[in-house]
Amino acid sequence: MKKTEEGTARQEPNRADWDRIAAGEQFQDLLAIKKIFIVPAFVFFLVYFVGLSVLVGYAPKLASTRVIGTINVAYLFALSEFVVGWVIAALYLLASARFDALTKDILATLDGLRGGK
């Protein structure tokens, strides 16, 4: 048994429960919603990350163009990758609140199917 935030005990899901959850429409919706965020974010970051190598490899003159003093475009691009990574992480944190709410709904439905044990 596991205590919930409300302090009530909840039985941990067993194998049959997990199979029922995985086959359920709510769980499939949760996976679809997560894919809508995760796949584009991953593809964007991968392209952005590889973009630096492509820039340096295929446009070295542009990459070495000085912007401020000795700081060049490639250096700014490399630093921007940290910013982009943090922005994606922050966006995922915001989206995860919705994922958590859907997960709680799935578990509440499971508790209801068990008869509120």
pLDDT digits (tens, 9 = 90+) for 8-54: 566 676 788 788 888 889 999 999 999 999 999 999 999 999 999 99
- Give the pLDDT confidence score for residue 82 in this predicted structure: 97
- Give the pLDDT confidence score for residue 54 in this predicted structure: 97
Who's near 40: CB < 8 A, 6+ residues apart?
A: none
Measured distance CA(35)–CA(6) in Å, rounded = 30
Question: Helices marked H in 1-117 — which ranges?
Answer: 15-23, 25-58, 60-63, 73-114
Cβ-contact 73, 56 below 8 angstroms: no
- Give the pLDDT confidence score for residue 5 in this predicted structure: 62
Give the up-direction half-sphere exposure of residue 99: CA atoms within 13 A in the CB hemisphere: 14
- Give the pLDDT confidence score for residue 111 in this predicted structure: 75
Beta-strand pair 9-10/66-68? unpaired
For residue 30, the tally of other CB atoms under 10 A from its CB is: 19
pTM above 0.85, yes or no: no
Domain ranges for the chain, please list them. Answer: 2-114
Backbone phi, psi, residue 10, to 5°: -130, 135
